[in-house]
Structure 1
Amino acid sequence: MTDEVFLIPARPTATAGLLAEAAARRGMAVRALGPGFGELAGRAVHWCGGPHAAARVAGTLGLGLLEPPDDWLTRLPERFTGRRIELTTLGRAARELAGSGRPAFVKPPREKSFPPAVYGPGAPLPRSLPAATPVLVSEVVDFAAEYRLFLLDGEIAAGSRYAVHGRLDPAPLDEDAHGADVRGFAAALLSATGTDLPSAVTVDVGLVGATGRYAVVEANMPWFSHSYAARPEAVLDVVLRAAGPLHRVRAADLPYVTP
């Protein structure tokens, strides 16, 4: 019996299913999360699923889950974001949107506690969450195309286009007409800011329709990111680094481990 376990939710997403198949091909034991997950304690468990379930099992299973900092986007030079971005709270964002009367794009930094969208007059922010919930607020940008990059050790391990003009339209990065430009933008970004991210992370990049320039959309946890048309085997490499045994986490990645 192998000690390497790939743990997925009881109801896995399409991405978790694809990565589970890739993990099984490597000889890993694939398990679905159930009431008896404590039996896996002591084995080398890797997780692919949502943050709420991860928080429930991480302590028992000794997981080291890597996440980008909440304020990473706000610290980027504007040449990489193409817009102003602020990390604030849900309550403050609601008050400012109501006072200004102008719409803004609002999203949770990492967890999908409410839908990322344009909020403002006629589209109020949710009231069911605590006012202290952290949110990122940015100017509204129209992305002509959006791409997901799975990064490992400062390099693109896998990538995919996932949307065109806001509509889901996955395609492998290297089959997209802008693939080389996306890679060039990512190389410049990582050269300037790569040390501010964990060694395994997901970064989304968009082509801004109004300017024809590229901008960072957001950064996320690989273990809770759709792979779209990226190669599952390469995505798996990133997920295994980002959500594996805590004792294997590299020293440089320790600041990015979820508490």
Structure 2
Amino acid sequence: MTTPVPDADFLVLPPRLDSTAKLLAGSARRRGMAVEQLPSPVVPDRLRHAVGGHLYGGPTFAGTVAVDLDLALLEPTDDWLTRLPYEYTRRDITFTTLGEARWSRTPMFVKPPRDKTLTAGVYADGSRLPGNERYPADPPVLVSEIVTFLAEYRLFVLDATVHTVSRYATNGRLDPAPLDVCPYRATVLDFAANLLDACADSLPGAVVVDVGLVSNPDRGDEYWAVVEANMAWFSTSYAANPDRVLDVVLRAAGPRHRLASRDQTFIRRSGG
């Protein structure tokens, strides 16, 4: 690996590389960036004075590295989904705590808002959720009514514009494919454009948004809805263009001194 010079951009990766990290490494090298795969979250001294750092990796790794390299990690707010107009969610969603969700006696879909501390899924009622001994801090969760997504797409968004897209699931099963081969290409982009036009100020300048086609058998219709928003620096790229994914990742986890003023409110809290 090439050691970065003090004022050159470089990409830091975690000890274990997933498929997305490998693709991003290749893309970074093609544009002349140094790539550093660290054996642990400890940043070596030779990197601490470099000012062009970026990263891709999980929250624990990213949180430690970001502090040492003075990086700003961008992420959507925990309650972003609940603040969207109903026309973009098409389901009731509540931002609450795991403890409160345990009181529910109706079927529901439960997920953590950003970190994957709790397995997202359908629960028959609140009594089926994990007990307090596993989550003593009573973490925040999003609780929504259950819907069926026929197809799901990942949007890598840069400055409120779709930068690259991949399908990642059909009928609830992993099924990555480039957008250009998908029958819903035009409708995905139309829905995304309307969504981003309506909520640009409520998202970081670099972010991932998942959307999907919902089937409603009770009414016999189908419609598009937002699935969730995520941190670009910890999102699988699936079949999206890796060079364009890297553009979004570099902005989502880059030097704090380059951060746009409108993104100050989206910086990940230290240790969050």
Same fold (TM over 0.5): yes
Determine if contact 2:28/2:35 at 8 Å carries over to the other structure.
yes
Secondary structure at the aligned position of 1:217 is classed as strand
Partner of 2:24: 19
Aligned twin of 1:177 = 183
Which stretch has the larger CA shift, 117-126 or 162-171? 117-126
| Equivalent position of 2:225 in the other structure | 215
Show structure 1 runs of 5+ residues with no match.
Answer: none
Is 1:119 matched up with 2:126? no
| Paired residue secondary structure (1:213) | strand
Residues in 1 aligned to 2:126 and 2:114: alpha-carbon distance in whole angstroms: 25
**1:225 alignment partner in structure 2:** 235
Q: Give yes or no for contact 1:89–1:131 (8 Å, CA) kept in 2.
A: no
Q: Which moved more, 1:134-143 or 1:30-39?
A: 30-39
After superposition, what is the alpha-carbon deviation per residue over 1:94-128, rounded to whole angstroms, capped at 9, x for unaligned? 122xxx2x211100100011211111249821220
Task: Render the CA deviation track for 1:14-57: whole Å, top value 9, x for unaligned.
Answer: 10110011001111111112345232112211110101111122
- Native 8 Å contact 2:102 2:127 kept in 1: no
Contact map agreement 1:91 1:131 (CA 8 A) in 2 = no
SS of equivalent residue, structure 1 residue 147: strand
- Residue 109 of structure 1 pairs with residue 116 of structure 2: no
| Other structure's SS at 1:70 match | coil
Give the counterpart letter for 1:51 in structure 2. Answer: P
Q: Using the alignment, how far apart are the partners of 1:245 and 1:120 within structure 2?
A: 44
253 and 122 in structure 1: CA distance in 2 versus 1, 3 angstrom threshold = closer
Gaps of 5+ in 2: none
Q: 5 Å matches for 1:138-217?
A: 138-210=144-216, 211-217=221-227
Q: How many residues get paired? A: 255
Relative to structure 1, is the Cα distance of residues 87 and 153 closer, same or farther in structure 2, using a 3 angstrom cutoff? same
Aligned mates of 1:207, 1:191 — CA distance in 2: 19
Q: C-alpha distance in 2, partners of 1:33/1:95? A: 43
SS at 2:103 equivalent? helix
Q: Distance in 1 between matches of 2:154 and 2:148?
A: 17
Tell me how large the CA RMSD over aligned residues is. Answer: 1.4
Aligned to 1:49, the other structure's residue is in SS state coil
Q: Indicate the larger mover: 14-23 or 40-49.
A: 40-49
| Equivalent residues of 1:73, 1:218 under 8 A apart | yes
User: What does residue 90 of structure 2 align with?
Assistant: 82
Of the three residues 226, 246, 257, the one matched with 1:247 is 257
SS at match of 1:174: helix
Q: Percent identity?
A: 53
- In the alignment, the residues of structure 1 paired with residue 245 and residue 137 of structure 2 have an alpha-carbon distance, to the nearest angstrom, of 35
Deviation at 1:130, TM superposition (A): 2.6
Aligned to 2:243, the other structure's residue is in SS state helix
Give the equivalent residue in structure 2 for 1:8.
13
Which of 39, 48, 62 is the aligned partner of 1:41?
48
Counterpart AA for 2:156: F
Write out per-residue CA displacement over residues 155-180 of structure 1, whole angstroms, 9 at most, x where no aligned residue: 11010000000000001112110011
SS for the counterpart of 2:254 is strand
2-structure distance, mates of 1:4, 1:24: 11
Which TM-score applies when normalising by structure 2?
Answer: 0.91
32, 50, 66: which is aligned to 2:74?
66
Asked whether the 8 Å contact 1:105–1:119 carries over to 2, the reply is: yes
CA 1:175–1:37 in structure 2 vs 1: closer, same or farther (change >3 Å)? same
